[in-house]
Structure 1
Amino acid sequence: MKNGVHLITYADSLGGNIRELHALLKNNFSNALVGIHLLPFYPSSADRGFAPITYREVDERFGSWEDVEYLGADFDLTVDFMVNHVSSRSSWFLDWKEKGPESEWDGLFIPVDRLYPDGIPEEDLKKIYTRKPRDPWIPITSADGSTRYIWCTFSEEQIDIDVFSETGRRWLKEELSALCSHQGIKMIRLDAVGYATKKPGTRFFFEEPEIVELFDRCKAITSPFGVELLPEVHEHHSYQERLAGWGLPVYDFALPMLILYAFYSGEASPLAGWLKRCPRNCITTLDTHDGIGVVDVADLLSQDQIEFTVNALYEKGSNMNRRYSSEDYGN
C-alpha cells in the first residue's frame, strides 16, 4: 500500500457507478491520489452496503468485478469486509433459517441460548458494549415455526456471525480468500471487527486473546495474496495503540476532534501531545462516511473540551444529530 493520499468514497458518490468514478479520478486526480477506499459495493440489504448479501458479486447498479479490477490497476484499492455480520437476506442466513441444524451454515449464527442456556444475567447484560439503544438480539421464526433469539448488534438486517466456530472459520477462509483473489486489492478493512468476540461475562468487544487469534488467522489468509489488513475500531485511543503494537496498521480516529478543538479554541496542546505519542503505522483521517467519532478522544480531551468542540460544530452548521453523540450510541 503506497503512502500518500487515499480517497474514501462510495461507488456512486462521484459519478453513478465505478466506471464513471474511475474516469473522473483518472482524468482529474491521478497526480493527487495514490489509492481509493471503495466503500461496500456488494449486493446489500441495508446500511448503504454494510449488510452484505454476498461478497462474490458487485451490485449491478455499480458495475462489475472487471470495473473494480480496472480501478485497482490505477489506484491502490482498499475494500471492506464485515467480520461481525451478514445480511438477513443472505443465502447463508436464509439457508440456516430454513434448515436449522441440517444447514451447512449451522454454527455460523449465534442463538442467545447457545451463549446463555439459562438466560442472560442482568449484570452480564449491563456489561455488553452495544452501539444501539436496544438489546443486542432479535427474535427469528424458523421454517418449523419455532422462535429463537439470535445475536444482532446493529440493525435487524445485519445478523451477527460466529467466526470462531468451525463453520465460521470455514466461512471466513472461503470469503476472505475469494475477495483477495481479485486483482488490484491491496488492503481489506475489517469493519466492526471489535464486536466479533463474544464471551459471557465480558463487554463482548475486543476480547483477548480471541481478538489476537482472529487477526492472526485473517493475516494467514490474506498475506499469501499480498493483501494487508486494516482493523476498524472506533473506541478509546488505547485500542489503536494496542493494535499498532501487534504490528497492524490503525486508523487515527482521534485526529479530527483534536484538530477541530485546536481550531475552535486556539489551544493546540492536546493535538501536539497526541502527535508525539500516536502510533506511526497509522492511517490519518479527517472524516469518515460515519462522521467524526467522539469516543476516540476520551482522555485526550477533557469532557468540557469535548462538549465545547461538539457545540462549536453545531454552531457552525454541521449536519449532526445530537442523539448519535449520546450515551445511547456509546459516543
Structure 2
Amino acid sequence: MSDIKATAEEQQALKTKLTQHLNFIYKEIELGQNTESLSDDLINIMGLDKSCYQPIAYQNHWSQQDVIMITYGDSIVKKEQKPLVSLQHFMDTYLGASVNSVHILPFFPYSSDDGFSVIDYSSVNEGLGDWHDIKEIAKHRRLMSDLVINHCSSRSAWFENFIKGEGIGHDYFYTAPADIDTLDVVRPRTSDLLRETQTGKGVQHVWCTFSHDQVDFDFRNPEVLKSFVSIIRLYLDMGVKIFRFDAVAFLWKKLGSSCINLPETHEVIRLLRTLIEHSHPDAVIITETNIPNTQNLTYFGNANEAHAIYNFSLPPLLINTLVTGSCLYLKRWLMSMPPAQNGTTYFNFIASHDGIGLRPAEGLLNDEEINSLVETMQEFGGKVSWRSTESGQPKPYEINIALYDALQGTTEGKDELGLQRFICAHAIMFALEGIPGVYIHSLLGTQNDYEKFENTQQNRSINRHRWDYQALQEKLADTDNHHHIVLAKLKGLLDIRIKQPAFHPNATQFTLHLGLQLFGFWRQSLDRKQSIFCVSNINNEEIVFAINSLNLIMSEDWIDLLTGATIDMELETLTLAPYQTMWISNCDMGVNNLH
C-alpha cells in the first residue's frame, strides 16, 4: 500500500468525484438528502476522513507470481477441527509457495445455494470458524472474498424486517407490480421472477433474479449502498485484498428494460472502486459477470471499474477444443480479445464451484457446437442447467461436471488420455495473459460427486465434493494415485510459471497460426527480455511440425521449460505427443521435467 496520504485538496477531490458518481446513479431518484451529504456519509463509513490514500492510476497490483486457488471454506474437513484451520493446513502443507492467493467462497451464515444466499454479512459461519481464522489465512495468502451484492437470504434480519415493515432492511428490497411485463428481463434461471410475500404493509411481490430464497436489493435506496460500503470496510479490516462482486451485472433494475448491465450498475462499481482504492490502493475488484463476451469486457470501463474480469468464455472454448481436437473457435476468440491495459487484467479459470457457463460461448460457438459439447459432457456424467430465453424457450445455461471427468475423452467417447488432456488444459490456462484461478478440485483431480448430487438434487453439487482430510492425505501419499499425480503435475507447472517474467498477467500476447490441431501463442515480458512460445497438441495423435513455423531467433538458445530440453535449431521439426505442451523460452528461469 502507498504510504502517501491524500492532502486536504486531494480529499476534496475525492468528495467531488464521489458526488459525481452519486449524481449519475441517482439522477432519476428523489433522495432524502443531497449527494454531497451522501458523499460525506460514505467517506465517514470507509474511514477516509481519518486516513485517505491517493491511488496511482493504471498501476498493476499483480505479477506472474499470483495464482488464486478457488475453494469453499469446508472443501476439506477433519474431525474436531474447524474447516478453515484444515484448509490453511492443507495449503501450507501441500501448496506452499506455488499458490499465493486463495478465494474462499462465501464463508458467512447462509440458507441456500452453498453460501450465496447470505443471512449475515458481518459474521463467519460458525461451522467453518471465525474471523480470527480468516485473518490468519489472510496473513499467509492474499485473500479473495465474495461481496454478494445483488441479493441476500430471505431468512436474513433485513428481509424479516421487510416482512414486518419496520427496522433496518424494511425498505432494502426491490418490488414490482404482480402484472408487470418482464418479457425483456434477462435471467439465468427459469423460476418465477417475482415472489409473493405477505408483509405488514400488505402483499408485496419481491424481485428474485436467482431463486425465491435470494431476494434482490433495491439500490435506488442509498441506505442499501451505505450498508454495503460498511460491509466492504469490515472485510478490508479482516484482511480481504480481492473483492469478487458476485452477480453484479443484475444489480440495478429498471422496469421496461433488460435489468442487466444497466449504466447505473457500471457507475455503482466505479463508485465502490473509488472508495476502495482510496482506502487500500493495492486492493482489487473482480466482477463476476457470466454473460456474453462482448458485454463482459465492458466491466473494465476505462480502467476505472473492475481491475479484473472473469474470462468466462475460456472454459467452454478450451474444453470444446480438447474434446473436438480443433482449436478453431478458441483461436478465433483469443485473436479477438483486446490486451488488458495496465491497471486491468483477465482472471482466467477453466473450473469453478459453478459449472461450465454457456452464455459466454454464445456468438463464439454455434448452436451445433454447443449442443455437441452438452451431449459429450452428459456422456461423461455431467448435468445441464437451463435458462429461459426472451421467447420463454429453455436453453442450456451451464454444464455441471468435474473438470477431470469432463476431459476423460473426446466427442468420440472416453479414452486413455484423460490425464494428459487434463494437464494440457491447465498448461494452456496457466500461460495465458491474466491471473490464473485454479479450483481446489482441479488441483486434486476430484471426480463427479454423484452421492452429493443425489442428496441435494442440485446439479452444481456434482462438482462441490467435500474431502475428508485424512482420506485425502492417504491418497496424496500414494504416488500411483491419480490425485497425487494431478497435484504434483499442476504444482510443477505453477512452480515454473511463477518464475517467468513473460507470464506476467500484462505481458504481451500474440496468437500463433499453427493449424487447427496445434494451439499456440507467444508471450513477451514487459522488459522484452524473455519470450515464451506456448504450443500445445490439442489432438489425440502425435504431431510433427516445422520449427521455423515459430520464427525463433536463430542466434539465441531456446529451451522447453517443461522438460528442460534444449531446442536443437539444426533440426527441421519438433514432435509433440498427444496433449503435450511446450513452453519454449530464450531464458532459463527455472525448468522442470514434467513429462
- C-alpha distance in structure 2 between counterparts of 1:91 and 1:246, whole Å: 38
- 2:72 maps to 1:10: yes
- 2:373 maps to 1:312: no
Q: Which runs of 5+ in 1 are unaligned?
A: none
Tell me what 1:260 maps to.
319
Tell me what 2:120 maps to.
54
Write the letter of the residue equivalent to 1:90: S
Tell me what 1:138 maps to.
195
Stretch deviating more after TM superposition (103-112 or 25-34): 103-112
Q: Is the 8 Å Cα contact of residues 82 and 191 (structure 1) preserved in structure 2?
A: yes
State the identity as a percent: 25
- 2:206 maps to 1:156: no
Tell me what 1:222 maps to.
276
Q: 2:262 aligns with which of 194, 197, 207?
A: 207
2:76 counterpart SS class: coil
Change beyond 3 A, Cα 1:232–1:329: farther
Q: Is the 8 Å Cα contact of residues 100 and 141 (structure 2) preserved in structure 1?
A: yes
2:205 counterpart SS class: strand
Deviation at 1:243, TM superposition (A): 1.6
RCO higher in 1 or 2 (8 Å CA, sep ≥ 6)? 1
Q: Is the 8 Å Cα contact of residues 317 and 330 (structure 2) preserved in structure 1?
A: yes
Tell me what 1:238 maps to.
294
Query: Between Structure 1 and Structure 2, how many residues are aligned?
Result: 318
Deviation at 1:36, TM superposition (A): 0.6
Q: Is the 8 Å Cα contact of residues 9 and 37 (structure 1) preserved in structure 2?
A: yes
Q: 1:111 aligns with which of 141, 156, 175?
A: 175
Counting only pairs closer than 5 Å after superposition, residues 185-200 of structure 1 correspond to structure 2 as 185-200=240-255
- C-alpha distance in structure 2 between counterparts of 1:330 and 1:267, whole Å: 22
> Deviation per CA, 1:30-58, whole angstroms, max 9, x where unpaired?
12211111001100111111111111111
Q: Is the 8 Å Cα contact of residues 18 and 62 (structure 1) preserved in structure 2?
A: yes
- 2:147 maps to 1:81: yes
- C-alpha distance in structure 1 between counterparts of 2:187 and 2:387, whole Å: 13
Deviation at 1:214, TM superposition (A): 0.8
- Computed over aligned residues only, the root mean square deviation of the Cα atoms, in angstroms, reads 2.0
Q: Is the 8 Å Cα contact of residues 130 and 330 (structure 1) preserved in structure 2?
A: no
Deviation at 1:245, TM superposition (A): 4.1
> Which of the two has greater helix per residue?
1
Deviation at 1:215, TM superposition (A): 0.6
- C-alpha distance in structure 2 between counterparts of 1:254 and 1:104, whole Å: 40
- C-alpha distance in structure 2 between counterparts of 1:214 and 1:328, whole Å: 32
The structure with the largest alpha-carbon Rg is 2
- 2:341 maps to 1:286: no
2:315 counterpart SS class: helix
Write the letter of the residue equivalent to 2:383: M
Change beyond 3 A, Cα 1:196–1:131: same
Write the letter of the residue equivalent to 1:300: L
Stretch deviating more after TM superposition (189-198 or 156-165): 156-165
1:313 counterpart SS class: helix
Q: 2:95 aligns with which of 29, 34, 40?
A: 29
Q: 2:360 aligns with which of 288, 296, 299?
A: 296
- C-alpha distance in structure 2 between counterparts of 1:310 and 1:13, whole Å: 27
Write the letter of the residue equivalent to 2:126: E
Change beyond 3 A, Cα 1:39–1:72: same
Deviation at 1:149, TM superposition (A): 1.1
Q: 2:184 aligns with which of 127, 133, 156?
A: 127
Tell me what 1:273 maps to.
332
Tell me what 2:236 maps to.
180
Write the letter of the residue equivalent to 1:112: A
Write the letter of the residue equivalent to 2:172: L
Q: What is the TM-score normalised by the length of structure 1?
A: 0.90
> Deviation per CA, 1:259-318, whole angstroms, max 9, x where unpaired?
112112221121122222325310100111111101101111121122222222222x14
1:234 counterpart SS class: coil
Q: Which runs of 5+ in 2 are unaligned?
A: 1-60, 398-595
